[in-house]
Structure 1
Amino acid sequence: MNLTATAVRPARAALLAILLSGTATAALASEGALEGAAAEAADASDGASVSELTVTARRREETVQDVPLAVSVIAGARIDSVGAFNVGRLQQLAPTLQFYTSNPRNSSVNIRGLGSPFGLTSDGFEQGVGVYVDDVYSARVASATFDFLDVARIEVLRGPQGTLYGKNTTAGAISITTNQPTFDFEGKAELTAGTLDFRQAKAAISGPLSETLAARLAVSYTTRRGTIYNVTSRRWINAQDNLGLRAQLLFRPSDDLAVTFSGDFNRQNPKCCAQIYVRTGATQRALPRQYAALAAAQGYTVVSTNPFDRLTDVDSNLNAGNRIGGASARVKWDVGPGTLTSVTAWRFWDWKPENDRDFLGLSIVARSQNPSQHDQYSQELRYNYATDRIDAVVGAFAFHQRIDTQGTEQHGPASSRWNLTGALAANPAVLDGLVARNTQYLKNTSLALFGQASWKVTDAFTIQPGVRLNYDKKVGFYERKVFDGQGNPVLFGQTDPVKVAQRGVFAPQVSEPRFSDWNFSYDLTLSYALRRDVLAYATYARSFKTGGINQNGLPTDAAGNPILAAGSIRPESVDHFEAGLKSRFWEGRAILNLAAFRTDIGDYQATVTNGQLGVLRGYLANAGKVRSQGVEADFQVRPSERLSAYVNGAYADAKYLRFVDAPCPPELSGGTTATAGQTPSAPGTPGGISPANCDISGQRLPGVSKWSFSYGIEANLPGVLLGREGQAYAGFDGSYRSGFSSNPSPSAYTNVKGYALSNFRVGFRADDGIEVFGWVRNAFDVDYFEQLALGPSNTGLIVGQPGDPRTWGVTLKSAF
């Protein structure tokens, strides 16, 4: 890893852009403005300071520097200026945030490498990173794939957040606060056009309806051509097509009472999402049953072996139809010495996908779709109380969720050759039309009491304990019925070799997993003001992530019976240690925050994969123990009103401390399973002997870069454009992450190389609210992968998702 060279190139480019912006500004500015610019710049440092953002991380308003907690705060204006319009792009600004998605349903958000198992999403477990919008918890990470809509700020809280937030989260929380209705009339609009037919429109309007009623309406629409061309359908795929609407009504009959009603609807309907051919790697399957031999036997050649040609030939329909929305009522009532807050919410999610699960132009898997419908209801009550020495919050939370899924998996005429041996492999009719129809549901109930107090022992020293009592219950049902190409059922007990072969691909199954348990967690934070602008703190948290159930089917024994003991997984137990320092210096012009952390998790909930196509693509199991530890630094500086810069960095060492029975990587899979006394073959030995499982203790957790950085700079000069006074500016934002593993069990075939991305913008910001700027993202057209994955059946096929190429465009904004 050549970190120095990687980071220096964007920095040099940023300085060049700033110098060029001065030339552009001179062209825009009037003669009089230029004459006064030098004198104004000389005085610009007077009163310049880094803005102290207000946060509600501890359920009360305070500046971010006063919070003894590792939290990144990103203002809505900055989100708009850098084009971070969803969580996928937000991770370029928050180094310890990781977001992975192969489609909206199979999305995961991690902080410091923890939160969700890497791989296919299961409904039966909890996410370790909570996503909240205006205090409303969303049980589906799919909600994070939508565009941010009229956002005021986003707080990324790192570490366990169970004693202050409604839903227990062990790795952190993303709290999104939208702009609220106002009793002063205001509005804003934004239009963007760019390459790849990128079009984006945003608008919001707010104002009074009466002396006690105010309303706000916001809308966002984004569309973009796909980044990958499908030569089979002759269409661009992996596109964007997002629509978002939000309406809010504020009723304020008195200064003591405010009631906000909110409703939102979000829709996605792109041709998406395909993972494409990246490479092949040798497995331990017999050589005639590895990718090259199988493709040759069927006369198949992939359209391109270079993934950055951005070509594919997948032959199944693709769709990522996604609907998410809901309604909420939030009441804030000043009662006695404190404030009572009630948040009542209903959310829905409707998922209508179509996928190509063989990733090729061969009809191996002809259909793969698992539409789901999700409803959730939540109620949170909190009471905040504050005196000169004590701040406290106590709360109760109730949550119920139901998900129904109807799945269809069907094989095509190329499947027999790909998955069978001998004479059966030469007969396409054996698996052509074989279909599995899955029906499943999940009922999930969670109840909690929580509280946290902050006792100011002296003016400098504060003790902050917190507790949480939680009850969780999950009830699931899964049924798979299998039919051959003629519509006849495939059942256990049938001895016909064709039926036995079909059952080896799709086996009928019924399971009814359940889980319920109580948990008690707590934390303690000590903070000390070393001086006026320097705060030191230390935290210990004993937390948990509740147990779960395997909702997508269970692994089976040699007779094909589901292993019922695998129906539920134990809760994770979390021991979290953190120490930090928050400082503000140079008369408020600079901020430096440091944090060191270590999180140990016992009974870690890990994804276990099964390489046999159609049997069971993944399920959850408890690993022994994992640890994530590291350091983080956030630095901001504003030496004058004309210049500001930031550098955020993190080092994370996240690894399995103990996982002795993990699934093996592809280079050790696909051969004859070793029995007692047999020695497994070397990795990648065709026809070799594969271990039944692998010990990956000491190896890295998937998806986590050891080093990650975000950095940026903006410079401005006063000027005049088309008669409007304002500022001409140039900005640069960059990010870097080192390489990471993209498979639950580290594999040489799925390591993603590190990369740096650079974004530039140049524009004019008028004093009357008009702004126009041009931007370029991934300016140096870096080729990189968002993630890599394994193709089915241990053939050695590796597929992936190339990141976005260089794009550029123009944005026009107006605020009034």
Structure 2
Amino acid sequence: MISRAVSRAALLAGSAAGALFALPAHAEAPALPSAASTATASVQNDGNYPENTIIITARRRNEQAQEVPLAISVLDQRSINDTGASSIYKVQQLTPTLQVYSQNPRNTSVNIRGIGVPFGLTNDGFEQGVGIYVDDVYYSRPASAVFDFLDVNQVEVLRGPQGTLYGKNTTAGAINIRTNQPTFDFEGSAELTLGNYNFRQAKVAVSGPLTKNIAVRLAGSSTSRRGTIYNVTTGNYINAQDNLGIRGQLLFRPTSNLDITLSGDYSTQDPECCGTVFVKYGATQKAANRQFPAIATALGYAPPSTNPFDRLTDVDATLNAGNITGGASLKAVWEIDDKSTVTSITAWRFWDWKPENDRDYSGLDVVRKSQNPSQQNQYSQELRYNFSSSRLDFVLGAFAFYQRIDTQGTEVQGADSSYYNLSGANRNNPAVLEGLTAYNTQYLKSTSLAAFAQVSYEIADGFKIQPGIRLNYDKKEGLYDRVVYDGQGVLVPATGGGQIRTDQRSIFAPQHIEPSGSDWNFSYDVTASYQLAPDILLYGTYAKSFKTFGLNQNGVPALNGVPQLDLATAKPESINHYEAGLKTQFLDRKATFNLSVYRTVIDDFQASLISTRDPGLVRPYIANAEQARSQGIEADFQLRPSERLSFYASGAYTDATYTKFTKAPPPPEYTSGSSTSAAIDINGNIIEPIGAPGVPLTGTNKSPPYVDASGSVLPGVSKWSFSAGAEANTPASVFGKEGEVFAGVDVSYRSKFSSNPTPSIYTWIDGYTITNFRAGFRAGDGFSIYGWVRNAFDTNYFDQLLVAPANTGLIAGIPGDPRTWGGTVRFDF
């Protein structure tokens, strides 16, 4: 017996070593008999649950999804693999109300139902409204969204406030990711994928016992792909993929009711990324000679193509998206008895960001260097007590979190900057701005403490009431220090020095602020649900939630060189959320239909603003809009009439608007620079005539210092979004293996959406449809081979449109992926 155990341990260690050093990969359990779907595939069935049952942990315990009064979408690992949904960014194609936007890993926004984080702006001093959790560990920055999933078993997308159950308050929803855990049976898998654009992906995982009380799991993945945009300046393809990740888990089970799991992971990216293409010119209110066509002509410049889907760029600054993240956690689960469980999660995570960008979005030498590398360390401790009985379930929890982020930025202007940015006599003097350099030093120290509880009590047969409460304390300390030197290395003062210094400060103004604050918040929710029939659940929810205050870590607008310190912080959001839902299964559980309607009203909505008092480069910060609202309806449907055929469809209507935003940042068609901004009276009312949008100012007309965006849509939100798919299979024998030949299709659609903090006539992104196909063979012994085509009809679409600096009318864009195709082979053993 001892020799057999030693042999198996040696085999496991040898397999793990080979996995990590020869073929990094991602584990997958044997394929489950379900089509790719959202909330209706049979993801996991660890207990005596009925067929076609999803087991989720959304309420911090194993439950059947159809019995949980919550709007939730679930993806199992086969759905993730078959549909290519290998990261949070790609999961959005299967979950219509999830929106993910990524200009680069740091500048990534994750929203649910149109809310979560200010669109298009990275600011470390503000919270994410959508919490990302991996094995119960909170990931404080959304850069994790751009990494490949690593040995993931299931992804749950929870919609609506979740603060009374999750350690960090999540006002818009949560993404709960569960990885595969160590097993006491030896198992493993390996997968290899090859495709066009030199796409290569390898995944492997092994798991098994080291002793009768200790099990280990090791997994790795490696992904690379040539970029989809050709840079004529460097001769390289940019916006490539270059990901490597490893994860190790050690499970210690000293007794049958105690599991202690030590986990560690490390992921790195080092692609030449992230660049843009020329999209179009949109006229502003500037003088004609200060708009992009005239500037380009005067400087002898033309973009490499005026068709963005030629996928050509000429950005001339160095590009890099170096990104390293990892950490360790210790999770202990003690089942006191068959009703009570105590869970402790201790975690540390780090994130190192090493970027290089071209912030003028062109081959002009305007911004020569733009890089803001940062280093984050976070520490968290969560403790939960779960009790479950026939009529009563409850969770009591406490959460502590500390985070420190340090940033060291360098920005340098180029030889074309004076002509591009200035309007006076110094415009034709390149030396005024060439070499102008800003060094930015920032740090953020953030502490969060919380106590939370949620109770579910069955008052009468089938009728449950579920109240929850949360008490939260936040403290933040920040620093923003910008020191500016001219091209000769001379310090630029905060005030004085004549017109040259004024022009230099219009681009990079020295500034030193140390924002800080602390706040207590109390939030609560209550849900009532009624099991109308064994497979019909009705529920209704009210939640009073919040998102804590934020610090502007990227500087604030200044008047006469004096920072406006009242803008250094933004008030907390106050949220009232209402939701009602229906969950049903019928046709002997072969069909599932879920429906939810909701309304979320946010007072003091934290929105991205741009100061019109600072001419030159766009300077965004975050302040409070008076109120925003998101309301809509969501539906999920699945039908599996037989083992050979399955269908799914999900759809959402989302009405997300600024209910009241009276002083929103002007869109580019209403901008001309601060020297021509209209005056305001003591009450903040505009008292000078405003010029027409997109027309150079004449006479006494001025540009508005702000616009009333009340009633406008929130950025990044499509009013309509859908996903649907089907899979069919038939028995077959291939390579002497018995199994099934299958074919599937997945379609996603979203209607047009705004890609600017305030809607602009130039930055609406047209609606689009993406269609993916797959076909292949899967055997009963875990072998599968299949081919796939994603974006099969080569739809042209944009992920984002961006307004270039200085409001010259240049609109740049990030095109979505073109048609890609390839093949995958996978073995389970």
Tell me the TM-score range normalised by the shorter chain. over 0.9
Paired residue for 1:785?
A: 798
**TM-superposed deviation, 1:379:** 0.1
Paired residue for 1:496?
A: 498
Paired residue for 1:654?
A: 656
1:486-525 equivalences under 5 Å are 486-525=488-527
- Point out where structure 1 has 5 or more consecutive residues left out of the alignment: 1-48
**TM-superposed deviation, 1:613:** 6.9
Which of 433, 436, 447 is the matching residue for 1:434?
A: 436
**TM-superposed deviation, 1:682:** 1.1
Q: Which amino acid aligns with 2:694?
A: G
Q: Which amino acid aligns with 1:693?
A: Y
Kindly indicate whether residue 694 of structure 2 is the aligned counterpart of residue 684 of structure 1: yes
Q: Which amino acid aligns with 1:301?
A: A
Q: Which amino acid aligns with 1:585?
A: F
Q: Which amino acid aligns with 1:725?
A: E
Tell me if the contact between 1:554 and 1:616 (Cα under 8 Å) persists in the aligned partners: no
Per-residue deviation, residues 535-581 of structure 1 (Å, max 9, x unmatched): 00000000000001101111111x12100000111000000000000
Identity of aligned residues (%): 61
Paired residue for 2:41?
A: none
Per-residue deviation, residues 278-297 of structure 1 (Å, max 9, x unmatched): 00111001110000001111
Paired residue for 1:737?
A: 750
Q: Which amino acid aligns with 1:662?
A: A
Q: Secondary structure at the match of 1:301?
A: coil
Tell me if the contact between 2:617 and 2:805 (Cα under 8 Å) persists in the aligned partners: no
Between the aligned partners of 1:123 and 1:512, the Cα distance in structure 2 is: 14
Q: Secondary structure at the match of 1:164?
A: coil
Q: Secondary structure at the match of 2:666?
A: coil
Tell me if the contact between 1:507 and 1:615 (Cα under 8 Å) persists in the aligned partners: no
Which of 725, 731, 741 is the matching residue for 2:738?
A: 725
Which of 541, 544, 553 is the matching residue for 1:542?
A: 544
Task: Kindly indicate whether structure 1 or structure 2 has the higher relative contact order, using CA contacts under 8 Å at least 6 residues apart.
Answer: 1
Per-residue deviation, residues 284-319 of structure 1 (Å, max 9, x unmatched): 011100000011110111111110000000100000
Per-residue deviation, residues 647-705 of structure 1 (Å, max 9, x unmatched): 00000000000000000101111151123542201111113521110000001000000
> In 2 relative to 1, CA 459–525 (structure 1 residues): closer, same or farther, beyond 3 Å?
same
Q: Secondary structure at the match of 2:506?
A: helix
**TM-superposed deviation, 1:387:** 1.7
**TM-superposed deviation, 1:50:** 7.1
Between the aligned partners of 2:388 and 2:650, the Cα distance in structure 1 is: 33
Q: Which amino acid aligns with 1:682?
A: A
> In 2 relative to 1, CA 173–303 (structure 1 residues): closer, same or farther, beyond 3 Å?
same
> In the comparison of the two structures, how many residue pairs are matched?
768
Between the aligned partners of 1:696 and 1:423, the Cα distance in structure 2 is: 36
Q: Secondary structure at the match of 1:183?
A: coil
Between the aligned partners of 1:126 and 1:500, the Cα distance in structure 2 is: 35
**Of 413-422 and 768-777, the range deviating more from structure 2:** 413-422
Paired residue for 2:389?
A: 387
1:146-545 equivalences under 5 Å are 146-335=147-336, 337-545=339-547
Kindly indicate whether residue 826 of structure 2 is the aligned counterpart of residue 813 of structure 1: yes
**TM-superposed deviation, 1:614:** 6.3
Q: Which amino acid aligns with 1:504?
A: S
Tell me if the contact between 1:50 and 1:589 (Cα under 8 Å) persists in the aligned partners: no
Q: Which amino acid aligns with 1:428?
A: P
**TM-superposed deviation, 1:403:** 0.2
Kindly indicate whether residue 107 of structure 2 is the aligned counterpart of residue 94 of structure 1: no
Q: CA RMSD in A?
A: 1.2
Between the aligned partners of 2:617 and 2:750, the Cα distance in structure 1 is: 35
Per-residue deviation, residues 72-121 of structure 1 (Å, max 9, x unmatched): 01101110111110111100000000000000000010000010001121
Paired residue for 1:775?
A: 788
Q: Which amino acid aligns with 1:359?
A: Y
Between the aligned partners of 1:610 and 1:142, the Cα distance in structure 2 is: 27
Paired residue for 1:600?
A: 601
Per-residue deviation, residues 177-226 of structure 1 (Å, max 9, x unmatched): 00000000000011000000000000010000000000000100000000
Per-residue deviation, residues 429-467 of structure 1 (Å, max 9, x unmatched): 110100000001000000000000000112210000000
**TM-superposed deviation, 1:132:** 0.2
Q: Secondary structure at the match of 1:502?
A: helix
Between the aligned partners of 1:68 and 1:492, the Cα distance in structure 2 is: 57
Paired residue for 1:621?
A: 623
Q: Secondary structure at the match of 2:296?
A: helix
Between the aligned partners of 2:271 and 2:616, the Cα distance in structure 1 is: 26
Paired residue for 2:85?
A: 84
> In 2 relative to 1, CA 399–270 (structure 1 residues): closer, same or farther, beyond 3 Å?
same
Paired residue for 1:64?
A: 65
Between the aligned partners of 1:122 and 1:388, the Cα distance in structure 2 is: 46
- TM-score under structure 2 length normalisation: 0.92
Which of 669, 672, 677 is the matching residue for 1:673?
A: 677
Q: Which amino acid aligns with 2:677?
A: T
Paired residue for 2:23?
A: none
Paired residue for 1:34?
A: none
Paired residue for 2:24?
A: none
Tell me if the contact between 1:556 and 1:563 (Cα under 8 Å) persists in the aligned partners: yes
**TM-superposed deviation, 1:52:** 1.4
**Of 672-681 and 464-473, the range deviating more from structure 2:** 672-681
Paired residue for 2:770?
A: 757
- TM-score under structure 1 length normalisation: 0.93
Q: Secondary structure at the match of 2:497?
A: coil
**TM-superposed deviation, 1:741:** 0.4
> In 2 relative to 1, CA 156–579 (structure 1 residues): closer, same or farther, beyond 3 Å?
same
Q: Which amino acid aligns with 2:405?
A: I
Between the aligned partners of 1:673 and 1:217, the Cα distance in structure 2 is: 60
Between the aligned partners of 1:548 and 1:730, the Cα distance in structure 2 is: 49
Per-residue deviation, residues 499-542 of structure 1 (Å, max 9, x unmatched): 22112211100000012100000000000011110000000000
**TM-superposed deviation, 1:422:** 3.3
Between the aligned partners of 1:564 and 1:726, the Cα distance in structure 2 is: 67
Q: Secondary structure at the match of 1:604?
A: strand
Q: Secondary structure at the match of 2:638?
A: strand
Between the aligned partners of 2:476 and 2:235, the Cα distance in structure 1 is: 45
Tell me if the contact between 1:656 and 1:700 (Cα under 8 Å) persists in the aligned partners: yes
Between the aligned partners of 2:279 and 2:495, the Cα distance in structure 1 is: 41
Tell me if the contact between 1:350 and 1:371 (Cα under 8 Å) persists in the aligned partners: yes
Q: Secondary structure at the match of 1:445?
A: strand
Between the aligned partners of 1:65 and 1:286, the Cα distance in structure 2 is: 61
Tell me if the contact between 1:322 and 1:350 (Cα under 8 Å) persists in the aligned partners: yes
Q: Secondary structure at the match of 2:503?
A: helix
Q: Which amino acid aligns with 1:809?
A: G
Between the aligned partners of 1:651 and 1:164, the Cα distance in structure 2 is: 27
**TM-superposed deviation, 1:497:** 2.1
Kindly indicate whether residue 810 of structure 2 is the aligned counterpart of residue 797 of structure 1: yes
Q: Which amino acid aligns with 2:773?
A: F
Between the aligned partners of 2:163 and 2:495, the Cα distance in structure 1 is: 49
Paired residue for 1:15?
A: none
Between the aligned partners of 1:495 and 1:758, the Cα distance in structure 2 is: 59
Between the aligned partners of 2:503 and 2:535, the Cα distance in structure 1 is: 71
- Point out where structure 2 has 5 or more consecutive residues left out of the alignment: 1-49, 680-685
Between the aligned partners of 1:613 and 1:639, the Cα distance in structure 2 is: 63
Q: Secondary structure at the match of 2:562?
A: coil
Q: Which amino acid aligns with 1:752?
A: I
Q: Secondary structure at the match of 1:424?
A: helix
Which of 715, 720, 729 is the matching residue for 1:707?
A: 720
Between the aligned partners of 1:758 and 1:616, the Cα distance in structure 2 is: 37
